[in-house]
Amino acid sequence: MLLIELAFPAGRDHATAWGRHVNEGIPEWPPSGYRLIRALYDVWKRKLPEWEESRVERLLGMLGTSAPRYRLPSATVSHTRSFLSKNEQDLQSKTLIFDGFVVLSSRATVLMGWPDLTPDSDFLDDLDELLSRLNYLGRSESWIEARTLRGVSGVEWNCFTQSAESVNCEMEIVPVASAIPPHDYKPAAIGRGKTLKHLTWMEAIATGTEVILGAGWSHPPAMRYVDYLRPVNSFAPEVRVNRQRKDSRICSVLYALDSKVPPDVTETLEVAERVRTKLMGIHKRLAGGPQHVSVKFSGKDRSGEPLRDHRHAFYLPLDYNGGGRLDHLLVHCREGFDPLECQALDEFSSLWQGGGRPDVRCIPVHWGGGRSKEKKIFTSATPFVPPRHHRRGRGDFGEWLQAEVARECANHNLPRPARVTAIHELIAKGGRPIRWADFRRNRKQDRAEPRLR
């Protein structure tokens, strides 16, 4: 048996079915034997011109003796729409072009088989040489890797001619372009008078569109349509069972922040408060009233008292690239978010900025569960603001401040710091030094009194 394996590394097969217009968006499936023969002819002419025609004709002629059978993988169909210029004076004049294609896994393969053929090793070696030099099949986007398979038998075909096998499932009839066998081919004539020429089978295989239209033919002279039986669910999407983990909660959402004027890192606290207010407003609308606002978003229970044990959401603006501007935002809650809270997080898409600056787009780029690995080392881009104030009787300011850092670490179940060192200014990677006093240290609009020394 002659068996050819076709793989599409890009996961797409771009080819319009013969007899169809490209704007019908109907891709060819299965890949036709006639198209493969023409592609191998092109490989010979462009990459192996030293081969004699008789050597190539023996290969292509055997492929054209009968219609192959197929084993097709799971696939779906899709298309793109492009508005191409008509090359007219009006620049707005465009032509809509559809590009229909078959989508399949980049690891899936199509098998083409001729069970009645028994080629020798020389034939297979020559065919492998041609197939190895084949870069695409159909349009140039259809990257392909092709080879012969030897010593394989017992293939379960699922696409074949009507007379090839019995039908075991619900099938549909699909016309597929096939080559006319060389012994059945009747030489076609082109031209008139002294220019009259009778095309051989190899010349007919290579006939282009210009010749076909000029001669008034409805299809190429060496091509015929063969009715194939194909499963009706050939393009049904593969259903995969999602085996959810026991802990499938969403605990963290990472947003990318995008704006022509990104917020400055000194506005971290103000931005975090705006995020909290915006999420509370979205959830209020979804839940049906202010009395139902999520306590995780607000940080307060139903009686208005602050939540204990850090069960509320944390809003952490981030400066990933160290340029002194906020470019990401992490919203995290160790208890996880319920479906309605996740919907509010999903609808959170923008953030207002003051001073006439454009809004910040908030794009969710990652949703994390409760089992994600925690980092052991992180760097804060903002100064430490203790929740308690230093006053007389609490000892030296430096020692008190170190004790406050250790106290906050314990509150968040972090190990006690080995060393606490004061830094007098923050140097952003992108440029200017930033003093601690430049940072916003209050959530509301009232002015913060300087308390850092």
- Region 93-99 average pLDDT: 84
400: left (phi over 0), alpha (psi -120 to 50) or beta: alpha
Contact 253, 364 (CB under 8 A): yes
| pLDDT of amino acid 294 | 92
| pLDDT of amino acid 450 | 47
Contact 4, 148 (CB under 8 A): yes
| pLDDT of amino acid 279 | 94
| pLDDT of amino acid 432 | 67
Looking at this protein, which amino acid is placed at residue 103? V
| pLDDT of amino acid 373 | 55
Per-residue buried b or exposed e for 81-100, using 16+ beta carbons within 10 Å of the residue's own CB: eeeeeeeeeeeeeeeeeebb
> Residue 154 in 3-state DSSP?
coil
pLDDT at 254 over 90: yes
Give me the residue label for tokens 């908030």: 362
pLDDT tens digits for 339-398?
Answer: 999 999 999 999 999 888 999 999 999 888 765 555 566 677 677 777 788 877 777 888
- Region 412-422 average pLDDT: 79
Share of the chain above pLDDT 90, in %: 44
Cβ neighbours around 358 below 10 Å, total? 13
Contact 13, 102 (CB under 8 A): yes
| pLDDT of amino acid 414 | 77
| pLDDT of amino acid 453 | 39
Q: Which long-range contacts (CB under 8 A, 24 or more apart) does 119-123 make?
A: 119/2, 119/62, 123/58, 123/59, 123/62
> Residue 445 in 3-state DSSP?
coil
pLDDT at 415 over 90: no
pLDDT tens digits for 14-60?
Answer: 999 888 888 888 899 999 999 999 999 999 999 999 999 999 999 99
Helix (H) or strand (E) holding 435: strand 433-435
- Region 84-107 average pLDDT: 85
Cβ neighbours around 345 below 10 Å, total? 22
Cα–Cα dist 158/174, whole Å? 13
Cα–Cα dist 441/243, whole Å? 45
> Residue 211 in 3-state DSSP?
helix
pLDDT at 327 over 80: yes
- Region 65-72 average pLDDT: 94
Give me the DSSP letters along 294-355.
Answer: -HHHHSB-TTSPBPSTT-S-EEEEE-TT-SSB--EEEEEEEEEE-HHHHHHHHH--EE--ST
pLDDT category, 452, cuts 50, 70, 90?
very low
Cα–Cα dist 36/119, whole Å? 18
pLDDT at 239 over 80: no
- Region 183-190 average pLDDT: 90
Cα 303 to Cα 161, 245, 291, 295, 306, distances in angstroms = 75, 35, 10, 10, 9
Distance linking the first and last C-alpha atoms of the chain: 86
| pLDDT of amino acid 39 | 96
pLDDT at 412 over 80: no
Cβ neighbours around 212 below 10 Å, total? 17
Tokens of 133: 């030099």
Cis peptide upstream of residue 30 (ω within 30 degrees of 0): yes
Mean pLDDT of the chain: 85
Share of the chain above pLDDT 70, in %: 88
- Claim: this prediction has a pTM higher than 0.85: no
Residues 6+ positions from 431 with CB-CB distance below 8 Å:
323, 324
pLDDT tens digits for 97-155?
Answer: 888 899 999 889 999 999 999 999 999 999 999 999 999 999 999 999 999 999 888 88
Tokens of 173: 């009839």
Helix (H) or strand (E) holding 401: helix 397-411
Residues 6+ positions from 426 with CB-CB distance below 8 Å:
381, 383, 433, 434, 435, 436
Taken as a whole, the chain contains a residue count of 453
Contact 211, 163 (CB under 8 A): no
Inter-axis angle of helices 268-287 and 339-347, nearest 10? 120
Where are the strands (E) in 94-186, listed by range?
94-104, 109-114, 145-148, 160-161, 171-179
Cα–Cα dist 424/434, whole Å? 9
